[in-house]
C-alpha cells in the first residue's frame, strides 16, 4: 500500500516537473494525436473541473484530512486483500501528489488533455488525478460487487 502511494507520488511529481520544464507558459501544448490527445500545461487552482477555484486552504485542509482518514483506516480499506491494498495506495499517492502541489504553489499542475476534435474537451488532468479515480472506482466496485464472506 505505502509502496504504491510513494510510487504514484514520485511519478506524479516527476511528470509535473517535466511538464513545467517543457512548457514555459500556461496553456502551451504539444499535439500527440491530432484531434484527440495533447500534452497541455494547465495550472488548476481548484479541485476537479476547477470546483472551489481559489480556495487553496480549504482544498489543502480537505486533502490532508482525507489522507489522514485513509491512513487511519488503511487496514479496513485494504482488508479485501492485495488488490484493495494497492488501490488504497493509489488513492493515497494521488491525494499526496496533488496536496504537494497545493502546498508548494497553491495550484495543481495538469497536462493530459483529451478531446474530440474541437467539439468536446475533457478537463486536463495528471497522474495523481488518474490514480485517485482508479483507486476510488476499484475500491467502490469491490465494496459493492466483491465476494462477501459469511460471518
Mean pLDDT by groups of 10 residues along the chain of 151 residues: 95 96 82 94 88 92 96 86 92 97 95 92 95 93 73 48
For CA atoms 86, 59, 23, 114, the dihedral sign is positive
Q: What is the pLDDT of residue 80?
A: 78
Q: Catalytic site residue 101?
A: no
Q: What is the pLDDT of residue 106?
A: 93
| Active-site pick, 12, 38, 110, 113 | 110
Q: What is the pLDDT of residue 77?
A: 83
Whether this prediction's pTM lies above 0.85 is answered by: yes
Domain ranges in the chain are: 2-145
The dihedral formed by the CA atoms of 21, 26, 28 and 32, expressed in degrees to the nearest 10: 80
Q: Catalytic site residue 113?
A: no
Question: How far is 106 from 79, CA to CA, in rounded Å?
Answer: 35
Q: What is the pLDDT of residue 150?
A: 52
Q: What is the pLDDT of residue 51?
A: 85
Q: What is the pLDDT of residue 142?
A: 84
Amino acid at each position: 500500500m505505502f509502496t504504491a502511494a510513494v510510487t504514484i507520488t514520485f511519478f506524479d511529481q516527476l511528470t509535473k516537473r517535466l511538464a513545467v520544464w517543457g512548457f514555459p507558459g500556461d496553456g502551451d501544448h504539444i499535439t500527440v494525436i491530432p484531434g484527440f490527445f495533447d500534452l497541455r500545461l494547465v495550472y488548476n487552482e481548484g479541485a476537479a473541473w476547477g470546483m472551489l477555484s481559489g480556495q487553496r486552504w480549504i482544498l489543502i485542509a480537505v486533502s490532508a484530512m482525507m489522507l489522514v482518514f485513509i491512513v487511519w483506516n488503511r487496514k479496513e480499506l485494504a482488508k479485501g486483500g492485495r488488490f484493495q491494498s494497492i488501490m488504497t495506495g493509489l488513492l493515497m499517492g494521488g491525494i499526496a501528489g496533488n496536496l504537494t502541489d497545493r502546498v508548494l504553489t497553491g495550484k495543481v499542475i495538469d497536462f493530459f488533455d483529451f478531446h474530440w476534435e474541437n467539439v468536446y474537451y475533457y478537463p486536463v488532468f495528471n497522474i495523481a488525478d488518474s490514480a485517485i479515480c482508479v483507486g476510488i472506482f476499484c475500491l467502490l466496485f469491490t465494496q459493492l460487487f466483491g465476494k462477501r464472506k459469511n460471518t
